Every structure is written in C-alpha cells, then in structure tokens.
A = this chain, B = another copy of it.
C-alpha cells in the first residue's frame, strides 16, 4: 500500500507544483497558490493512504452504518488534511511576500541599526498584511486543536461552544487594528427607519457578530453531515463559490476590494487542494471518515476569509443551506420535537438505498402547541408526517436537510443523495452571488463591484 502511494502521478503533481511556484516569482501569488494547492493534494493523499491503520489502532474509528456489513473505517482523518494545510501555509509565506523580502526589506544590518529599521517607510515590508496572514493561520490552527480534542474526548456542547470565538481573538484584534470598520450599509427601502442614514455603526456589536460567525461557520458544517463525502463536498462547493466571487473582484473590482479578495484566494486555493485529496478518500464508498476536526477547520476557513476579506455578509449568503438546515433543525435541537442520538437517513440493506429516518411521536409526543406547526410543515411538504386513522400523530421524518431531500425526491443511493445536496448548495450559492451583485446593487443603490448610476 505504501509502495503504491507515491506513484508517477504524485511525482508529476509535485513537479507541476514546483513549476507553478517557480513561475510565481515573476507573476502573481495566485499562481503559487495553485502550486501549493497541488502539493497539498499530493501530500494529503499520500499521508491518508498511510495513516488509516494508526488511527484505528488508537481507537479513532467508526462504523459506516449505511453499508452492508457496517465496515469499520478510520475516523478523524480530516486532521491530517488540516495539518497539511497549516504546514503548506508556512512554506507559502515567503512566496506571498517574496517581492517585499527581496526588493524592499531594510534588514541585514547590525543590531545597532535596528532602531532606524523600525522606522519603516510605506514602501517597506507590509507588516499589517503579515499580521493578517499570521492571525488567520493561528486562528485556523487553534480551531484544529479544538477539533482534535473534540474527536478524542467527545467534548460537551457547553464546553466546546465558546471555543471557536476564543480561537478568533487574534483575528478580531487584527480586524480592530487594521480596519476597525463596524458600519453596515442600510438598504434604500429601510433608510427611513434610520433617519435617512446610508451607514449604521454597530460598534462593539459588530465584533459580537464576527465572533458569532466564527462559532456558526464551523458548527454549521459539522451538523450538515453523516453522508459519505458531504462534509468535504459542501466545503469544496463553498470554497469554489467563494473563489468565483474572488475572481469577480480580482478581474472587475477596484483596487481596495482586489486586495481583500486576493487575501481570500490565497487562503482558499490551497484549502481546495487538501480538501480534494480528502474528498477522494471520503466520497462514496468512503474509505475514511473526516471527523469533527475537518468540519471545524473548514468552517473556520470561511469565517476567517469572510471576516478579514470584508465580505462576511456575502460569505453568510453562501451558507444559506447550512443556515436553513440549522433553523430547520431547531425544533429537535431545542427538544420541542424529540431528538434521537443520530438523525442519519436509514439504510435499507435489501435495495441499498437510503430512506428518511423517523421519530416515533407516539412514544415521544411533541409539545402540544407545536402539533399544528407540524401539520402545517407536512402540508407544505417540509416534513413527512404519519398519522393513524383517527388523526393521532404516529411519526415524522427527522428535521435535517438530508432527510428533507429524501422526503422530496424519495429514497436514493448514498452517493446520489450527496451529489444532489451538493448541487443544491452550488445552485443556491450561485443564485446568492447573483443576488448579491445584481439585486444588491439595486437595493443599496450601489455595489462594490460596480455602481449603478
């Protein structure tokens, strides 16, 4: 197995990566990002092929419930891709700042000249950009450690809930120092509510909002999970959508927005590399499970990019399926309708298809006040509610996006289900981006990509 791991394919991938990195000396950081992305893919792929047995040996494994025979697979393998990403980002730093390090650095002097060095001019090294970059990687690595602890110890919700916000402290601090923008735009139609103001200052509330985003993004990926390839798949879709948005700005945007979206592309492109390698192993039929580490890490990549790239609201639009999944899950999360330990779709060994999993409402009736809501949801085809002849509730489908898709489209094989959800996510994301730039421009009177006269 180890022998087959490093084949001609991998060697040529690495060669391509080195070529891309070399090219980038004269060109753009995006080209070297592509190179590091390819290296990330190759290294992650090679490591995953070797790591599985070690993970199983120390007890990190799980059963794949949606397969015949419930095979045992290594769990938390996403930690490998996440750490490869961090290492890649370390090697990437000199390439990002190559221009400044070779042309502009004032260094190389004696200790005594350092006082003079500290009085850098505007043309010298962009320490603020380096701080942004370092704080991002630091935030991601802290999230990874949180994920590893969660994978190992199965932390309780109340313990792990605030931790991503702590991990985001360096990020928020850099935001405060470098940008400090806490204004939001008011849509034209709502201006009267704010005495005709176009901007409303949220002040400290804006930092609360960003901390909430750092908590939401990692967890939202973690709860839209349980089907082979879905965690990594949705992350890849989100990354691609985010990259499309970046490319729009990089090709058509103004100078200041270009900077933010270059930063975003620099973080997202290598992320796509390591995630694709993980997807290769996690897609149906899965050979490994990704674990909480990857979900937290992936979610935090988007939070970081959204916050320091100044498009946190656009980023949240890409998370609409995750937000809907969260809202849809709320009745069960808050125990208004009983919530079983697992809400995964049910696997039928006979036809190999996944069916909606159901809650028994006879044994565990929902809160009385919620019964009409359930009937309305059923009427709107948002759940599948089973009643007996006299109208008593018997069971309903579990309230997750995955089960809802099965309610809508009927039972299907696991890979088809995953593909369908990913396509939905991609379509909604594209629509959101269109809405953001087309409808947004109408609502706000202008858009930072173009201005309507």
Contact = CB atoms under 8 A, between A and B. Distances in A.
A225 to B, nearest CB: 22
Interface stretch (A175-183, A336-344, A379-387): A175-183
Contacts of A409: none
Interface string A307-324: 000100000000000000
A209 interface: no
Interface string A96-127: 01001100010111111011011110100101
A254 to B, nearest CB: 10
Nearest to A119: B122
A180 B93 contact: no
B138 A169 contact: no
Interface string A145-164: 10011001100000000000
B310 A111 contact: yes
B107 A142 contact: no
A105 B174 CA distance: 11
A100 B178 CA distance: 12
Interface stretch (A84-92, A214-222, A282-290): A84-92
A46 interface: no
Interface residues of A, number: 63
Contacts of A418: none
Given A110-B183, A177-B125, A180-B107, A153 B54 contact: yes
Contact of A169 (B90, B110, B114, B152): B90
Given A107-B179, A131-B134, A141-B145, A170 B93 contact: yes
A107 B148 contact: no
Contacts of A58: 59, 152-153
- Tell me the interface secondary structure of chain A in the complex: helix
A148 B150 CA distance: 13
Contacts of A180: 105, 107-109
Contacts of A144: 145
Nearest to A135: B134
Residue among A59, A101, A181, A182 with max Cβ neighbours from chain B (10 Å): A181
A244 interface: no
A91 B176 contact: no
Interface string A174-217: 10111111110000000000000001000000000000000000
Contacts of A169: 90-91, 93
A130 interface: yes
Contacts of A179: 107, 111, 114, 117
A131 B182 CA distance: 24
Residue among A114, A120, A177, A199 with max Cβ neighbours from chain B (10 Å): A177
Contacts of A255: 115
Contacts of A118: 122, 128
Nearest to A181: B111
Nearest to A130: B131
A118 B123 CA distance: 11
A101 B176 contact: yes
A91 B94 CA distance: 28
A107 B167 CA distance: 23
A359 interface: no
A272 B112 CA distance: 31
B166 A90 contact: yes
Contacts of A111: 179, 181, 256, 310, 448
Interface string A60-104: 000000000000000000000001001100110110010011000
A131 B127 contact: yes
Contacts of A137: 138, 170
23 contacts: A86-B145, A90-B142, A90-B170, A93-B173, A97-B173, A97-B177, A101-B176, A101-B177, A107-B178, A107-B181, A108-B181, A110-B183, A110-B199, A111-B256, A111-B310, A114-B179, A117-B178, A119-B122, A134-B134, A134-B138, A145-B148, A148-B148, A152-B152
* Closest CB pairs A-B (n = 4): A107-B180, A127-B127, A134-B134, A90-B169
Given A105-B177, A107-B179, A119-B122, 8 more contacts: A90-B169, A91-B169, A105-B176, A107-B177, A117-B179, A127-B127, A127-B130, A131-B131
